[in-house]
Structures are given as C-alpha cells and as structure tokens.
Amino acid sequence: MTDLSSRYGSSQRPRWFWPAVAAVGITLGIAFAAWVGFQKDPVTGRLWGYEVVSDSKVSVKLDVVRPDPLDVTCTVYAQADDHSIVGEKTVDVPASKQEKVRVVIDIETERRAVNGVLRTCVPAD
C-alpha cells in the first residue's frame, strides 16, 4: 500500500489554526452585533392603541419618535379575527420640532376588524 502523504506531500496546519480562526470569527460577530445594537434609530413608531369604530373602520393611534425634525412615512393595517388583513393605510407625518408626536390614523376595512397593527415608520424619501 502506498503512503499518499509521501506521494502528494502533506499540508499540516498547526493545532492552533482552527481554534484561532473560530476565535477571530466569534470576535468579529460579537463586534458587529454590538455595533448594530447601539445604532440609534432615526425614527421609532410605537402603537399606542386602536379602536374598532365600526364594521368598516378602525382607528389606530401611534406615537412617532424622532430626534431630528424628519418627514416620516408610517404604514398601519387592520386584521380580521382570522388574521387576514382587511385594510391598510400609509400616511405621511410632516416634520415637527417636537420629538414625540401622536398620530391618529383611520383605516377603512372591507369587513369587521378586530385589531390595528403598526407595520413600519421610516424616514420619508
């Protein structure tokens, strides 16, 4: 039987090679997660509450928080009891000197909804 390492040569890595690669990868992953975690969001939308007004209307209240006076676009939707989306609306919230603004959005629905949900609040383009 022929020894393959004598025929083709061997590429022995030191014993510390793979643990070192793993340590560097883990360190980079933790650093990236910390960097992303400590980034300040330019806009935060918070669902303050909702009210089912009628079989065809839901009123959603949002708090829009932004450190700078930015124009913001928020999207909300209403769900029926089977979790299907029965209405959706996107509104523009104009820039304001106030850091926190409460916004009321009325959503027309195709049938009775049971809740209102905030999808996104992002800086307007």
Domain count of the chain?
2
Task: Indicate if the alpha-carbon torsion angle 91, 92, 94, 100 is positive or negative.
Answer: positive
Q: Which two tokens stand for residue 2?
A: 């022929």
Does 114 lie in the same domain as 63?
yes
What is the C-alpha separation between 66 and 97, in angstroms, rounded? 9
CA 100 to chain centre: 19
Which CATH number characterizes residue 66's domain? 2.60.40
Domain that holds residue 10: 4-37
Give pLDDT tens digits for 41-75: 678 899 999 999 999 999 999 999 988 888 999 99
Q: Which two tokens stand for residue 86?
A: 């029965």
What is the C-alpha separation between 77 and 35, in angstroms, rounded? 32
Give pLDDT tens digits for 90-117: 999 998 888 899 999 999 999 999 999 9
* Residue 46 identity: R
pTM strictly above 0.85: no
Does 109 lie in the same domain as 58?
yes
* Residue 38 identity: F
Does 109 lie in the same domain as 79?
yes
